[in-house]
Structure 1
Amino acid sequence: MSKKIKGEVSRTPKEKMTLLDVGAIFLRTLKLLVDFGYVVVLLLGMLGAGIAFGYLGSQIDRVAIPDKDTMIGQVSSLTRISTLTYSDGSLISEVSSDLLRTPVESSSISDHVKAAIIATEDENFKTHNGVVPKAVFRATLTSVLGLGETSGGSTLTQQLIKQQILGDDPTFSRKAKEIIYALALERYMEKEDILTDYFNVSPFGRNYQGRNIAGIEEAAQGIFGVSAKDLTIPQAAYLAGLPQSPIVYSPYTSTGQFKTDEDMSYGIARQQDVLYNMYRTGVISKEDYDSYKAYDIKQDFRQPEAIVADNHDYLYYTVMEEAQDIMYDYLVEREGVSEQDLKNDETKESYRELALEKIQTGGYTITTTINKTVHSAMQDAVAQFGGLLDDGTGTVEVGNVLTDNDTGAILGFVGGRDYNSNQNNHAFDTERSVGSTNKPLFYGIAIENGLMGSASILSNYPTTFSSGEKIYHGSSEGTAAVTLQDALNNSFNIPAFWTYKMLQNKGIDVESYLSRLGYDIDEYGIESLPLGGGVEVSVAQQTNAYQAISNDGAYLEQYMIDKITDSEGNVIYQHEAKPVQVFSKATATILQDLLRGPLDSGMTTTFDSRLKAINPGLANADWIGKTGTTNDFADVWLMLATPTVSLGGWAGHDDNTSLQSLTSYNNNANYMAHLVNAINAADPSLFGTDQRFDLDGSVIKSTVLKSTGLKPGSVKLNNESTFTLGGETTTSYWAINGAGQTTYDFMIGGTDSDKAAAWSKVSGQ
């Protein structure tokens, strides 16, 4: 008898077998559960696929089949030269396309490359009807289950449709159109014609100069220096591999240099895949495959050469940017792309790229609003007089925009001193703090809401921001009470500060006004907002705000493209004015009257006197405007307008370094005087020298005391005594309500002690 070990439980053989069985059962059960999990996942995947295919089918049902002529025209359409024109129809420039393409007939394309592309991209090309159902199923299922990307699912016919008509966004609606269009195209065209069109339109990466190439002929010439009909099998295999990822597989960089061996290896590996596909499908024998696989294709590549640089300028690229935006909107609307689809960055970017491609190669005529004579005069002026801006701090850059008040059309602009040395467009792309040019907008909001009249009195007593930081005007800490006109003429900071405080305390929705003027301001709690703090915009944007003031309060968003016409003469885009009445006519015309002062007084700019010295007749135009200078004199602004046009101007350094303290007062004023004189010489009618700003009939005229900006009357003081205040009167213009009777608290802004001091001064008490 064996000894029983202490602590061991004695079991019979039957009991021990049962424990083993339990372990095995547990493992089998676990395996079943795992297998069941796979089944559940598969079923869910199939359910998802079913939903996806159902949705795809619903999208297909909505697709309208294009007519034969339209579709053939679209897929066969090759590069056409688009043009940019001035407002009079004269040529600005042909649109440059980095894309080179030389179409050829089928007979000029090597059979080797035809066989290579079919073997690699669509081995059933000769037998299918445009779509391979199992390939569509595989691609859709892969997409639904998230099993990775696949190039399957698109025949050569579908790829042609995608390249020429639909673009490459990943939505089901586009895929549905692609399928229907491909089936239709196979009925409309012969296989050989479809294949030829594919070869003529497909992208093939970059050539030996780094330029983008499309079409088999440009590919053969640009990479191997031979015609497409003379390609060898190794060369054909290399080119046939390019359309899948042309930039990656191209042997050249964007500058036309050879890629590194590592980067070039991707294209060579792709060539090897094509050769194998040719062998696999019986196009070449095993012996030929082995021979071609060992061939060093790099020895056939053309040696790099330098490309000739373009000679475009600020105008060309500004028009192109706006044209791309318009074409993007046009394509999105034409294709019925939903807002949900556009939340996908890939979809959005694909339409951006398609828009640019259409502009570059679609044969469009893009008619701008730019006045050729005026714009040319502005370029001559900055070349001749831009040096007047230089103040010893280095070359001072400049941006100007000239806008038609009635329409918002941009008539001309200055992007900078010299495009060749500085490509930064200082008229449209440089955003800088606007300084004091913002003050009239805040005064306008106060006038609009009946809180201020043109003769109102504002505090300019010394004060601080809530942080305790003193508010300076230059080196001055403040003076006393001032009129609104004096506040504008001198561009005092403290009155503007108190005006914004008043608007906030009264609950005025300042954002609603500024947003309608096109401003996108992140933080409205910044106390220095009316002084330019937290407001950085382009010259174009700021000029647009002054256009609204000059146009009796109606804001018209600036535009530079009047219309776009396709190669058949159809207008696909025509600008439509959408005026927004930001200020009432009363408010706007009161501001116009006030804004004569900053120029006439000469307190912040010598523009008026300098223009009189150059052209006295032009100086007699009804000029209004406002200066602006930012901290440490980093930016100087001068906004100008007449009843017909608005002209904005900024000057400064790209690195935000300071200018001299009087650059705004003297240098910028001098330059702007010469600029407007040059514009006037190009078109003497432009500034409307025979027109005047007039107060609107709705303006309320109140007779007020000069000392208080309110009507004469008796004032009840805190000690219950009554004091009758009189004196010299003037007319104050109000948008609503009119001036009230003088009170002790007549001054806008200021502390209690400031108000006491102001009352003491006007009353003599």
Structure 2
Amino acid sequence: MTNLSQKGKKITPKKEGSTGWFYFNVVIRVMQSLILVGISLMLMLGALGAGIGLGYFAYLVKDTDPPTKQELQQDLGNITETSKLAYADNSSIATIRSDLFRTSIPSDQISDWLKKAVVATEDEYFYEHKGVVPKAVLRALISEVTGIGSSGGSTLTQQLVKQQILSDETTFKRKANEILLAMEVEKNFSKDEIIAMYLNISPFGRNNLGQNIAGVQEAAQGIFGINASDVNLPQAAFIAGLPQSPISYSPYTNSGDFQDNLEYGLNRKDFVLFSMYRNHDISKKEYEEALAYDLTADFKPKGTPDNDEQGFLYNTVMGEALKIVAKQLADEAKVSAEDFATDEVYQDYLQKAEFKLANGGYTVQSTIDKDLYQSMQEAVQNYGYMLDNGSSIEVGNVLMENNTGKILGFIGGRDYASNPYNHAFSSKRQAGSAIKPVSVYAPALDQGLVGSESRVSDYPTNWEFGEDAGSPIMNATNAGSKTFQTVRETIVHSNNIPARHLYQEVLNEMGSPTFVYDNYLKEMNYPDTPVWQYESAPMGVMELTTLAQTNGFQTLANKGVYQEGYIIESIKDSKGNVLYQHEAAPVQVFSPATASIMNDLMRSVLTEAVTTPFLSNLKNLDWNLGNADWVGKTGTTDEYVDSWLVVSTPKVTLSSWSGREDNKPTDQDAGRRTAQYMAYLANSIYQTKPDVIGVNDKFELDSNVNTYQVSKFTGTKPGGKVTVNNRSISVPNETVASYWAKGGPANASFKFGIGGTDANYADYWKKAIPTPSNQRRATPPKKEKKEEKKKED
């Protein structure tokens, strides 16, 4: 009854429920509207952004004309111009040969394993995209703008364009051009052609000879000794992993030896295999078998490359040019100095520089004078035997122009074929006493601590510091002459005890153990080493190249102005555009007065001939050449391991290091043999180009040099009395001219010199006490006076 009674009756919802349902519907509809508005807004903003992006892209590439297929083929096929190295007169030294060995092969000679490995690792969408992957480009753009995430995203095609056509700049304009060109490449070449080009041009590190290699054929041959068509799966995976970081992943160093840690390359190989497995290029079984494969057993052992017929000249000029271009490329890519100093980055940019120089149609003009260089090579071939003492002695020589720093010629060694090590630029040997002019005497003069005739103790003394403390300081032939020598006498005899006293005096007076290095040696690019603080530093225990020694003497011969020695004058392309031009950067290291006094002192080294008969040997060969204004200094290290002689005229500096390659001792005649050889070398240079030596030029004392008449006995002001052992003694009256760059002599006193103990001074003053014997010596007969005068003349 109830149901029947309800039929047709209108049912009215409860008021509360009806209101909730209404609001729910409103909310839903509002949300739907908002979503539609949001979607519309996003589409509008996306379209606007796309429009702006496309507009900006068009702006960035507006100056880029799409290349033709032929133009692309030339660029991607590495069509290059020949480059050359040249002498100073622009005549050719040699055509630049690239140490980047590449052999291009057609696609059908490249294993499918290699193609699959590279695609799986570098560009998994290679066979799907048209040159670029938009989402990857967007991801890279966001990363570039925000600095968050990885900025990678280049396809194989983009990498090909970047390597062969564009630079390494990280600008939007370059990236836009990369995208445009990548799409053009895809239009004009098949996928197989593109991957073949990529595999033929990419760098693959080094081979077992230490040579830089590019292209999969060189990689397969240089690492495994097989063709690129014959590599197995793990070998292909290893090769495919190399382009990401060729130097780090390569199994070899630049000498062909195995890297200390091969794990970097092997781990990269495993990553490539996993990428291939993930990409379904290989089965699980193939993946696991390849992982277990002992790839190191396949690496070729170190090999020996053929000797370079170009020799020292080619390698030196090319090496210096590579350093210059590598630094330019790194600067263009905004590589920090810290990163550039790391071996991996530096070697990478050297490789880039080598490719650029070898293939860019450049002329590298050196400072080397062709005739002088050849005469120096003939001299070492003809007279190098003079250095031998029963065993073969090696030699390095540098001829430098003083006022510019130009290296006019050099000798890298006796014979490149038997020993290609460059003893002029690469070999570092202990400097010996040849370092004393720039590290000891010039700083002491420059600070006004001594004049040319000031006295320095050569009394026996012991080392005060270090592991040799308490042991005697030895001169070349004795443990001290038991007197006070003049500054001139100490450098003429090359005595070590006075040099030690002078060096310590400078450091103590200036209050810094690094004063000499910080204020003088650093300005001349001497190596930064703690050795300069050692008590033994004046004896030349630090290791230097022959070039570095030459540059120090160049500074003194050039009125105290350092001009860094250089061998590259310019680098220009085939159209004459300048890639590099040397610019002088002179540094006034010593005052002109100091430099002129040093040259006067070093003139005495050669004229007195105590340590070297160089000048007499030279006069025997050519009187005019021997009468040039030569100055110089010798240097010998313990047991005559190293023999140095560096000489200068006002125009040039000529240096010589000689010694055994194995660092074993020679004998006490090493200096005599060096002098004989150097005389013949200098004469060969003179006979080739007489004007180079400047036989008529003279070293003159600078106008700011102060000349004082000082007591010959003390080096102080003449006259006066001193008290010795409670006895008043008159200072001997005989005077001599003393040259001072700064300051001047002090008044006479008991302790008149540098170094020495009270007992040493008391002993020396005994010579001033009148006795019958020294009175007779003080008034020599007239005949003896004449002979003495003749010797002074």
TM-score (normalised: structure 2): 0.73
Aligned mate of 1:411, from 394, 408, 413: 408
C-alpha displacement at 1:422, in angstroms?
1.3
Partner in structure 2 of residue 659 of structure 1: 666
Question: Residue 68 of structure 1 aligns to a residue in which SS?
Answer: coil
Query: Counterpart of 2:544?
Result: 537
Distance 2:266 2:533 in 1: 57
Match of 1:184 in 2: 180
Q: What whole-Å deviation, never above 9, does each CA across 1:284-332 have from its counterpart, x for those lacking one?
A: xx9xx9xxx9xxxxxxx9x999986531312222222212211121112
1:454–1:484 contact (8 Å) kept in structure 2: yes
Write out per-residue CA displacement over residues 687-727 of structure 1, whole angstroms, 9 at most, x where no aligned residue. 10111111111111112222222221323547998755342
Residue in 2 aligned with 1:399? 396
* Contact map agreement 2:472 2:479 (CA 8 A) in 1: no
In structure 1, the residue corresponding to 2:482 is in which secondary structure?
Answer: coil
**Residue in structure 1 matched with residue 578 of structure 2 by the alignment:** 571
Please say if residues 115 and 278 of structure 1, whose CA atoms lie closer than 8 Å, have aligned partners that are also in contact: no
2-structure distance, mates of 1:366, 1:210: 25
Q: Partners in 2 of 1:602 and 1:458 — Cα distance?
A: 21
Give the letter aligned to residue 329 of structure 1. Answer: K
* Counterpart among 749, 752, 761 of residue 743 in structure 1: 749
Matches within 5 A, 1:230-629: 242-245=239-242, 309-339=307-337, 342=340, 346-392=344-390, 394-441=391-438, 442-466=440-464, 467-473=469-475, 474-507=477-510, 509-511=515-517, 512-520=519-527, 521-533=529-541, 535-629=542-636
Which protein is bigger by CA-based radius of gyration? 2
Change (3 A) 1:251 1:401: closer
Q: For 2:686 and 2:176, how far apart are their aligned partners in 1? A: 58
Report what 1:160 is aligned to.
160
CA distance in 1, matches of 2:624, 2:538: 34
- Answer whether contact 2:397 2:424 (CA < 8 A) is retained: yes
Give the AA of the match of 2:474: Y
Cα distance change, pair 585–266 in 1 and its aligned pair in 2 (3 A): closer
Q: Give the TM-score taking structure 1 as reference length.
A: 0.75
| 2:692 match: secondary structure | coil
Deviation digits for residues 557-581 of structure 1 (CA, Å, limit 9, x no counterpart): 1111111113443211111111111
Are the aligned partners of 1:120 and 1:278 in contact in 2 as well (CA < 8 Å)? no
Instruction: Indicate the SS of the match to 2:97.
Output: coil
Residue 75 of structure 1 contacts residue 161 of structure 1 at CA under 8 Å; is this kept in 2?
A: yes
Instruction: For residues 512-534 of structure 1, give each alpha carbon's deviation from its aligned partner in whole angstroms, at most 9, with x where no partner exists.
Output: 2121122223233311211113x
Q: 1:716·1:722 contact (CA, 8 Å) conserved in 2? A: yes
Local SS of the residue matching 2:90: coil
CA deviation vs aligned residue, 1:21-73 (integer Å, no higher than 9, x gap):
xxxxxxxxxxxxxxxxxxxxxxxxxxxxxxxxxxxx9xx99x97695369978
Is it true that 1:701 corresponds to 2:707 in the alignment? yes
In structure 2, relative to structure 1, the CA distance for the partners of 1:184 and 1:495 (3 Å cut) is: same
Distance 1:136 1:427, change over 3 A: farther
Aligned to 2:739: 733
Distance 1:211 1:719, change over 3 A: closer
Does the C-alpha gap of structure 1 residues 578 and 388 become closer, same or farther in structure 2, counting only changes over 3 Å?
same
Taking the TM superposition and a 5 Å limit, the aligned residue runs for 1:145-224 are 153-164=153-164, 174=170, 179-186=175-182, 189=185, 191-193=187-189, 195=194, 198=198, 201-203=201-203, 214=214
The amino acid of 1:516's aligned partner reads E
Name structure 1 gaps, 5 residues minimum: 1-56, 257-261, 294-300
Which deviates further from its counterpart, 204-213 or 340-349? 204-213
SS in 2 for 1:596: helix
Match for residue 656 of structure 2?
649
- 8 Å Cα contact 1:84-1:93 kept in structure 2: yes
Distance in 2 (alpha carbons) for counterparts of 1:425 and 1:548: 23
| Structure 2: stretches of 5+ with no match in the other structure | 1-52, 257-261, 291-297, 772-793
- 1:601/1:123 CA distance change after superposition, 3 Å: same
Q: Which moved more, 1:686-695 or 1:362-371?
A: 362-371
Give the Cα separation in 2 of the matches to 1:439 and 1:241. Answer: 55
Which whole-Å CA distance do the structure 2 matches of 1:556 and 1:465 have between them? 36
Kindly provide the amino acid, as one letter, of the partner of residue 133 in structure 1: K
CA offset digits 1:500-559 (Å, max 9, x no partner)? 1211221262122121122223233311211113x2111110110000000010011111
| Corresponding position: 1:630 with 2:627 | no
State the alpha-carbon separation in 2 of the partners of residues 422 and 653 from structure 1: 12
Please give the alpha-carbon distance, in whole angstroms, between the structure 2 residues aligned to 1:278 and 1:317: 46
1:496 CA displacement: 0.8
Matches of residues 64-75 of structure 1 in structure 2 within 5 Å?
A: 67-68=63-64
Alpha-carbon distance change, 718 to 240 in structure 1, aligned in 2, over 3 angstroms:
closer
Give the CA deviation at 1:346: 4.7
Q: How has the CA–CA distance of structure 1 residues 239 and 214 changed in structure 2, closer, same or farther, with 3 Å as cutoff?
A: farther
**Counterpart of 2:643 in 1: which secondary structure?**
strand
> What secondary structure sits across from 1:500 in the alignment?
helix
Say if 2:234 and 2:269, in contact at 8 Å, map to a contact too. no
The CA deviation at 1:75 is 5.8
Structure 1 range deviating more: 425-434 or 314-323:
314-323
Aligned to 1:762: 768
SS in 2 for 1:730: strand
User: Counterpart amino acid of 1:409?
Assistant: K
> 2: CA distance between counterparts of 1:227 and 1:471?
65
CA RMSD of aligned residues (A): 4.8
